[in-house]
């Protein structure tokens, strides 16, 4: 059963919103059944006074320097797993301090908890990357039409003029020599390939990030005498290396400096990183040790292994096919109208909100309650008193919460 905040992205109505610079994302695991308000209350309460008045979360929210604390969560087998999202307009140092304070919270009410900060995203960097990519597209259009003079354009945007030498290999951006060269450099994205082209390296190909690695790339790598994986200096780059190492021939690993990306490295740094490449098996061993150390650091004591059956990060559970079919039935109902599905597969007539409680209580062999509207705590209470144990609705409503022995599917989340 998943829960998502219906008020997300509404912002602070009482204050003029400030442009957010960073977004804190943290993974939370709780050994017990708690609600979103319990988690937010613990964040506010247990960090109060910890960092001094200047970094007190409630005051920061009043002045719109910290945005709405959002929690996406799932309750399963009496445990909660979810993600905490906090936007911030503070500087990077203050934001990092706020993020680290979350990891001091080890209890939510009476329940043990583990909070681990996954990342702090620089929202401005994402916007800047979009601006640069769009500027390059516009510049290339102007150059191709003869309406721009490249001498008047700043160096970073002007680098797009080299993309004319970039090729396409089964949908992957690459240099012109990836097939003819005996060696291959695999990078994360197409902008990395373009930057290496600027540096005179024509045997690079993009993997298009972690995810579904194309079989054509695997076959190409396996045919080369030497394969180097050039990764960014972050956790994402390391994850990409681990994936590629398990799927294809990888001889060497070259990592950008911490926090830097290949697409932005100057030629001098590109050359240095490639010269310092290390044997892939050695790099894999170092990463394994690092992962083991992180697990030891954040895994807790030996007797606190209640979180081991949870995933690495939180993800909403997709509804099975039979529930997807019931979502279709819900869409056909009138607004805020309901139907009861019985054990034999038949349905009741449409039921209005004022008659739902009586209809549910009087229904025999009721299996599922379908509602074209939000599932509130009151509706959950009605169903809890009946033979039904499944609710199909559109979204969370007032006082929605986890309920023992009841399954709730929401089209807003599980569709």
Q: What integer pLDDT is reported at residue 55 of this predicted model?
A: 86
Model pTM?
Answer: 0.38
The number of helices, as runs of H, and strands, as runs of E, in the chain is 14, 19
Give 145's pLDDT tier (boundaries 50, 70, 90): low
Tokens standing for residue 323:
């529930």
Residues 188-214: what's their mean pLDDT?
84
User: Is residue 205's pLDDT more than 90?
Assistant: yes
Q: Is 345 helix (H, G, I), strand (E, B) or coil?
A: coil
Q: What integer pLDDT is reported at residue 292 of this predicted model?
A: 77
Residues 2-20: what's their mean pLDDT?
47
List, as own/partner pairs, every contact residues 47-54 make where C-beta atoms lie below 8 angstroms and the sequence separation is at least 24, other chains included: 47/98, 47/101, 47/102, 47/104, 47/105, 50/101, 50/104, 51/97, 51/98, 51/101
Q: What integer pLDDT is reported at residue 129 of this predicted model?
A: 78
List the domains of the chain with CATH numbers: 2-122 (3.30.70), 166-289 (3.40.1360.10), 321-414 (3.40.140)
Give 297's pLDDT tier (boundaries 50, 70, 90): low
User: Is residue 168's pLDDT more than 70?
Assistant: yes
First-to-last CA distance in the chain? 13
Could you give the residue ranges of the DSSP H alpha helices within 80-181?
Answer: 92-102, 123-144, 155-158
**Whole-number average pLDDT of the chain:** 82
User: What one-character DSSP code corresponds to residue 304?
Assistant: -
Residues 63-82: what's their mean pLDDT?
86
Q: What integer pLDDT is reported at residue 18 of this predicted model?
A: 59
Query: By mean pLDDT, which of 7-16, 66-75, 351-360 is the weakest?
Result: 7-16
Q: What integer pLDDT is reported at residue 294 of this predicted model?
A: 67
CA 222 to mean position of chain CA atoms: 32
Q: How many residues in total does the chain contain?
A: 415
Q: What integer pLDDT is reported at residue 26 of this predicted model?
A: 92
- Of residues 222 and 138, more confidence is placed in 222
User: Is residue 299's pLDDT more than 90?
Assistant: no
Q: What integer pLDDT is reported at residue 4 of this predicted model?
A: 47
């Amino acid at each position: 059963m998943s829960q998502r905040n219906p008020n997300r992205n509404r912002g602070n109505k009482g204050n003029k919103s400030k442009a957010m610079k960073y977004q804190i994302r943290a993974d939370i695991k709780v050994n017990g059944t708690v609600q979103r308000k319990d988690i937010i209350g613990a964040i506010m309460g247990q960090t109060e006074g910890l960092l001094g008045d200047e970094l007190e979360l409630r005051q920061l929210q009043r002045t719109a320097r910290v945005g709405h604390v959002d929690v996406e969560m799932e309750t399963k087998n009496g445990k909660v797993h979810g993600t905490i999202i906090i936007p911030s307009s503070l500087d990077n140092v203050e934001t990092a301090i706020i993020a680290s304070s979350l990891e001091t919270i080890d209890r939510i009410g009476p329940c043990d908890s583990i909070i681990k900060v996954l990342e702090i995203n620089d929202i401005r960097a994402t916007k800047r990357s979009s601006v640069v990519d769009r500027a390059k597209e516009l510049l290339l259009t102007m150059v191709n039409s003869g309406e721009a003079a490249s001498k008047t354009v700043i160096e970073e945007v002007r680098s797009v003029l080299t993309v004319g030498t970039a090729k396409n290999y089964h949908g992957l951006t690459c240099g012109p020599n990836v097939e003819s060269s005996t060696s291959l450099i695999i990078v994360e994205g197409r902008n990395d390939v373009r930057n290496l082209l600027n540096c005179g390296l024509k045997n690079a190909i993009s993997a298009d990030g972690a995810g579904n690695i194309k079989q054509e790339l695997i076959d190409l790598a396996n045919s080369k005498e030497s394969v180097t994986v050039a990764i960014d200096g972050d956790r994402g780059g390391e994850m990409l290396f681990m994936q590629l190492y398990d799927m294809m021939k990888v001889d060497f690993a070259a990592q950008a400096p911490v926090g830097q990306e290949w697409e932005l490295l100057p030629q001098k740094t590109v050359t240095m990183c490639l010269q310092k490449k290390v044997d892939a098996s050695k790099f894999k061993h170092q990463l394994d040790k690092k992962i083991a150390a992180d697990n030891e650091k954040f895994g807790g004591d030996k007797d606190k292994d209640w979180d081991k059956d949870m995933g690495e990060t939180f993800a909403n559970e997709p509804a099975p096919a039979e529930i997807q079919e019931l979502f279709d039935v819900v869409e056909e109902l009138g607004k805020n109208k309901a139907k009861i599905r019985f054990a034999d597969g038949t349905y009741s007539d449409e039921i209005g909100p004022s008659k739902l409680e009586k209809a549910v209580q009087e229904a025999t062999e009721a299996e599922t309650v379908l509602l074209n509207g939000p599932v509130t705590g009151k509706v959950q209470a009605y169903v809890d008193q009946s033979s039904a144990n499944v609710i199909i609705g559109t979204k969370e409503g007032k006082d929605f919460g986890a309920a023992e022995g009841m399954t709730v599917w929401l089209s807003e989340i599980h569709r």
